[in-house]
Amino acid sequence: MTIIDGKMLAEKMQADLKLKVARLQSQGIVPGLLVILVGEDNASQIYVRNKARVADKIGIRSETLRLAENVSEQELLNVIEKYNKDDNWHGILVQLPLPNHINEGRILHAIDPKKDVDGFHSYNMGRLMAGNPAMVPSTPAGIVEMLRAYNVELSGKRAVVVGRSNIVGKPMAMMLLAENATVTIAHSKTENLATLTKEADVLVVAIGRANFVTADFIKSGAVVIDVGMNRDENGKLCGDVKFDEVSEVASLITPVPGGVGPMTITMLMEQTVEACMKSINNMTDDRRK
């Protein structure tokens, strides 16, 4: 069994990105990522801080705009509109979850799809579904990068994704399909889940329940990707997969922490740089017109 080192791969990609950003900087261009954080949710504060730290390391200018928990939907929409128009910001990310009084879908749709580094806007989701991806959600994109780095064969293989969220499960299934895997999406209503997952050559687990997936869910030699980010009964960070026993059965497995999480952040940065480069090309195109 081999542990997929997401942290190391993320650091390598960050070093490559740093060079790319340095080249942009020598032309006087600095990619900018605006993160909007509503309220005081503890986990969100940590994630946002991590994003800012990685942006800084790569040379991306980032700013976290903190809005009060009781900010109105309209105020938030106004803020997004302002940054949509501001050419200095190439990426805009609204940290989820949002407070209940705010309609998440309406907010995500207010972000200019060109600046939607999360890939959550329906335009970008549609592009992914159409097989012509633009901005893509960073968690599944990071998983595809990990599978590629570890030479995991996907074509013709049986992939099972547990979880059907718009931010992980659904886009993950589309990306695996694009790699010619035979894809099944399972979820909380799926009957005989373990029987199904036991058929998976590649199993992606994104259900949000600590240590839910045990060794009896796993085909011998399977590749297991754990998207979970939970706290166990001792408050320790853990995934959706019971690592100790599943790693006995799997051929490759991601740890938590140090697996999917660092790759998620890195792909966000990559998309910010990509958005910046595209915006320059568009400006050049406009001048040519």
Contact set with ligand GUE (CB under 6 A) = 46-47, 50, 93-96, 118, 138, 229, 237, 256-258, 261-262, 264-265
Beta carbon of residue 167, minimum distance to ligand GUE (angstroms, whole number): 7
Active-site residue identified among 5, 14, 114, 118: 118
Instruction: Pull the structure tokens for residue 188.
Output: 């909380």
Beta carbon of residue 145, minimum distance to ligand GUE (angstroms, whole number): 14
Q: What residues contact 188, with CB distance under 8 A and at least 6 apart? A: 207
Active site residue 118: yes
Residue spans of beta strands (DSSP E) within the chain:
2-3, 32-38, 61-67, 91-94, 158-162, 182-186, 202-205, 223-226, 230-231, 237-238, 252-253
Size of the site for Mg ion (CB under 5 A): 4
The rounded distance, in Å, linking the Cα atoms of 289 and 280 is 14
**Continuous segment of H or E residues that includes residue 264:** helix 260-288
96 binds, among ligand GUE, Mg ion, none (CB under 5 to 8 A by kind): ligand GUE
Q: Which is nearer to ligand GUE, 95 or 247 (CB)?
A: 95
Per-residue three-class SS string for 26-89:
HCCCCCEEEEEEECCCHHHHHHHHHHHHHHHHHCCEEEEEEECCCCCHHHHHHHHHHHHHCCCC
258 binds, among ligand GUE, Mg ion, none (CB under 5 to 8 A by kind): ligand GUE
User: Binding site annotation covers 163?
Assistant: yes
Q: Which is nearer to ligand GUE, 47 or 89 (CB)?
A: 47
User: Binding site annotation covers 164?
Assistant: yes
User: Binding site annotation covers 165?
Assistant: yes
The rounded distance, in Å, linking the Cα atoms of 216 and 2 is 19
CB atoms within 10 A of CB 7: 16
Beta carbon of residue 18, minimum distance to ligand GUE (angstroms, whole number): 18
Sheet holding 158-162, edge to edge: 2-3, 252-253, 223-226, 202-205, 158-162, 182-186
Beta carbon of residue 283, minimum distance to Mg ion (angstroms, whole number): 33
Q: Is 203 helix (H, G, I), strand (E, B) or coil?
A: strand
Active site residue 51: yes
Rounded to a whole number of angstroms, the CA Rg of the chain reads: 19
Per-residue mark of binding to Mg ion, 106-145 (x: CB under 5 A): ---------------------------------x------
Active-site residue identified among 5, 14, 51, 114: 51
Beta carbon of residue 156, minimum distance to ligand GUE (angstroms, whole number): 30
Closest CA to 34 of 50, 6, 55: 55
Q: Is 199 helix (H, G, I), strand (E, B) or coil?
A: coil
30 binds, among ligand GUE, Mg ion, none (CB under 5 to 8 A by kind): none
Interacting positions 234-273 with Mg ion (CB under 5 A): 260-261, 264
149 binds, among ligand GUE, Mg ion, none (CB under 5 to 8 A by kind): none
Strand partners, 65: 36
Position of minimal CB gap to ligand GUE: 261
Binding site for Mg ion (CB under 5 A): 139, 260-261, 264
Catalytic residues: 51, 95, 118
Q: Per the annotation, where are the binding residues for NADP(+)?
A: 163-165
